[in-house]
């Protein structure tokens, strides 16, 4: 069985994980256009090569980031999301909205 290293739980069978898709910047909920949202929700880079993705260890619901090669099926590195998301991101608020 193929294995993956969970930053929280260590080496586990790959069947304990689900892939949550590529790490991408979300459009601003207040200012993002319909076209930006459609692209974010539906379109895929679908890169052949090294990608950076969200993965979840389902028994513990722990989300983290993995770098893997989509051609060789090698998992290169896994690490907590805090390595990428180092600061809080504040979105613009809609004028007059709350």
Task: Tell me the number of residues near other proteins by CB under 8 A.
Answer: 21
Compute how many other C-beta atoms are within 10 angstroms of the C-beta atom of residue 43: 9
Q: Smallest distance, Å, CB 67 to other proteins?
A: 13
Identify the residue among 31, 72, 79, 91 touching other proteins (CB under 8 A).
72
Inter-CA distances, 63 with 7, 22, 72, 80, 82, Å: 9, 13, 23, 8, 11
Residues of span 14-53 touching other proteins by CB under 8 A:
14-15, 18-19, 34-35, 38-39, 41-46, 48
From the list 8, 26, 30, 71, which residue makes contact with other proteins (rule: CB under 8 A)? 71
């Amino acid at each position: 069985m193929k294995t993956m290293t969970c930053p929280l739980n260590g080496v586990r069978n790959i069947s304990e994980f689900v892939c949550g898709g590529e790490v991408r910047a979300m459009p601003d909920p207040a200012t993002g256009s319909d076209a930006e949202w459609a692209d974010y929700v539906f379109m895929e880079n679908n890169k052949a090569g090294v990608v950076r993705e969200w993965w979840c260890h389902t028994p513990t619901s722990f989300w983290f980031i993995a770098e893997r090669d989509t051609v060789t099926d090698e998992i290169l590195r896994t690490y907590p999301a805090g390595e990428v998301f180092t600061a809080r991101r504040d979105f613009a608020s809609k004028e007059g909205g709350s």
